[in-house]
């Protein structure tokens, strides 16, 4: 929610792609360090964290493509650019993290 608001707010000051880059870079380290422990309740090795960062960087590129399509090809309003980009990137981020880290311990059968 905070990153969405920051993305939207910054998009009034700089191009949406720059706003997305700034917000994504700021959040990248935070989510890499916190997602394994707090979302998936697991410890991630350095290799897994590197894979997670690589995945997130790939999703970042997908986000830039979404912004490009929404702003240039569809001439979408700013709010739609932000929401549309989040609709693309949020599920990809979660899916990649789940694939790399597994499901939360609390939901696993024992």
pLDDT, tens digit (0-9, with 9 covering 90-100), for 13-47: 999 999 999 999 988 888 888 888 887 888 888 89
Residue 35 gets the label, from left (phi > 0), alpha (psi -120 to 50) or beta, of: alpha
CA angle 49, 84, 56 (to 5 degrees): 10
Model confidence over 51-71: pLDDT tens digits? 999 999 999 999 999 999 999
Domain that holds residue 52: 2-103
Any domain includes 25: yes
Any domain includes 110: no
The pTM score is 0.81
Any domain includes 30: yes
Check if the beta carbon of residue 103 is closer than 8 Å to that of residue 40.
yes
Q: How many domains does the structure of the chain reveal?
A: 1
As a whole number of angstroms, the distance between CA 68 and CA 34 comes to 30
Any domain includes 108: no
Burial 75-98, CB ≥16 within 10 A → b, else e: ebeeeebbbbbbebbeebbeebbe
């Amino acid at each position: 929610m905070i990153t969405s608001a920051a993305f939207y707010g910054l998009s009034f000051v700089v191009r949406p792609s720059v706003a997305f880059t700034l917000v994504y870079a700021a959040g990248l380290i935070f989510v890499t360090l916190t997602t394994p422990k707090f979302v998936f309740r697991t410890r991630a090795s350095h290799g897994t964290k590197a894979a997670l960062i690589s995945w997130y960087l790939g999703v970042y590129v997908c986000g830039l493509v979404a912004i490009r399509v929404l702003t240039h090809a569809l001439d979408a309003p700013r709010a739609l650019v932000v929401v549309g980009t989040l609709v693309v990137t949020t599920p990809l981020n979660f899916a990649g993290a789940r694939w790399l880290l597994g499901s939360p311990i609390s939901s696993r059968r024992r």
